Amino acid sequence: MAPHTVTLALVQMAMHRDKASNVAKARAAVADAARRGAQIVVLPELFASPYFCQVQDPDLFELAEPVPGPTSEAIAAAAKEHHVAVVTPLFERRAAGIYHNSLVVYGPDGTALGMYRKMHIPDDPLFYEKYYFTPGDLGFVTVPTPFATLGPLICWDQWYPEAARVSALQGAQILCYPTAIAWHPKEKARFGAEQLAAWQTIQRSHAIANGVFVAAVNRVGHEGPADGGLEFWGHSFAADPFGVVLAEAGEGEETLVVPLDLSRQEEVRRNWPFLRDRRIDAYGGIASRFGGSTSP
């Protein structure tokens, strides 16, 4: 097939306490990415604030905004100004007492092309997301843009092959994973390399199993107490439909601008036809929690 190149930007940021400065930094990154040829820009999970889920504090619900709201409108305006699509993660206030970890994809004219609400919500030390976020109720979605069809997912979703598969079956060409993943500093020396490798491996496996591009966009920097907190490890990357890493960031602030040849998807799927050979008649057990029963 003839090449069909789309240029993707992965914005790896460190966050400040001030929401306005984070939004301004994101807008500047969108402008920079557009100048460098990007057509689709992906921002990190919850980019408008520090990762507040390290603690359970009811006052932190004040960080949430309706959609549309000030943060989403600011990024929509940047998308329109620079004629790019932007994957925009948000702390969404849907109604009193109902909050979501969400994202909106804005098109190059500034209109909202689609929304996704995080489906898998973790609850681990310093990742107390179940306190803040209602699980998503929109299901797994695909969002056509003028440049490519996106399968937007968020952070903890990246560990679930079902999420990647359903998105791919709905026509996603690029799975986008805005992320906030980090080391516990005291555990880094012992477990850090293994954790990073597992994070990269699972997402590359989604690319291979589904014949899609994958873009994982993390934040960077230490957040929380100096003697604890979290160290966000960066390493944002893009992989092609055979899991080949096309570009990878380090552990500092960086915007990767990566050309993706979408014809590669057809090439890979013709030679490794995993979707063709699926036994959809035999997968009923996937809907069970554990064991062979299809009951919850």
Known catalytic residue: 65? no
With 0-12 / 13-18 / 19 or more C-beta atoms within 10 angstroms meaning exposed / middle / buried, residue 80 is middle
- Catalytic residue selected from 53, 65, 155, 231: 155
What are the residue ranges of helices labelled H in the chain? 19-35, 70-82, 129-132, 161-169, 185-210, 263-271
Tell me the two tokens of residue 261: 């040849």
Could you tell me whether strands 220-223 and 213-217 are parallel, antiparallel, or unpaired per DSSP bridges? unpaired
CA-closest candidate to residue 97, choices 48, 124, 134, 144:
134
| Other beta carbons less than 10 A from residue 14's beta carbon | 17
- Catalytic residue selected from 118, 129, 223, 231: 118
Could you tell me whether strands 213-217 and 174-178 are parallel, antiparallel, or unpaired per DSSP bridges? parallel
- Catalytic residue selected from 19, 25, 45, 92: 45
Quote the CA–CA distance of 49 and 3 in Å, as a whole number. Answer: 39
Quote the CA–CA distance of 12 and 216 in Å, as a whole number. Answer: 10
| Other beta carbons less than 10 A from residue 42's beta carbon | 31
Known catalytic residue: 45? yes
Known catalytic residue: 187? no
Catalytic residues: 45, 118, 155
